[in-house]
Amino acid sequence: MTYDGFKDKVVSTVTLLSSFSTLLCCALPALLVALGAGAVMAGIVTTVPQLVIVSEHKSAVFTFAGLMLALSAFMQCRNRRAACPIDPVQADACLKLRKYSAIVFYVSLIAYLTGLFFAYFAKYFLA
């Protein structure tokens, strides 16, 4: 695996984790309360009090996740037509890594948009 492939994988993974943090801070509490599971949410906050800290700094969380998504999208576009090695084994690994990166990017984008909706826009639609 080349350095560029490793860098793409790291950026994709950090993007996925930061996008899912937006789900944890904003979408999960809204979903649980909407389903009438406020007691479950209280239990989760009691068990993992760091969720409150993340929720208090949701603007920073969304900014970081958005920047990581933008970086990941840039890297996806830049490497979309890059040549893979001639060796069949390495070429197969190259194509699998591209596919993995694309899947992770789109899953991250969906997670980010879901968290963004619940954090900032759901109160206008669900009120």
Q: What is the pLDDT of residues 32-55, one digit of tens each?
A: 877 788 888 888 888 988 888 888
Residue 98 is predicted with a pLDDT of: 86
90 to each of 21, 79, 84, how far by Cα in Å? 33, 16, 8
Residue 85 is predicted with a pLDDT of: 87
Residue 119 is predicted with a pLDDT of: 83
Could you say which DSSP state residue 87 is in? Answer: S
**Full-model pTM:** 0.76
Residue 1 is predicted with a pLDDT of: 47
Which residue do the tokens 């060796």 mark?
87
H or E element at residue 106: helix 88-116
35 by Cβ neighbours in 10 Å (0-12 / 13-18 / 19+) ranks as exposed
35 vs 110, residue with greater confidence: 110
Q: What percent of the chain has pLDDT over 70?
A: 93
Distance CA 67, CA 106 (A): 15
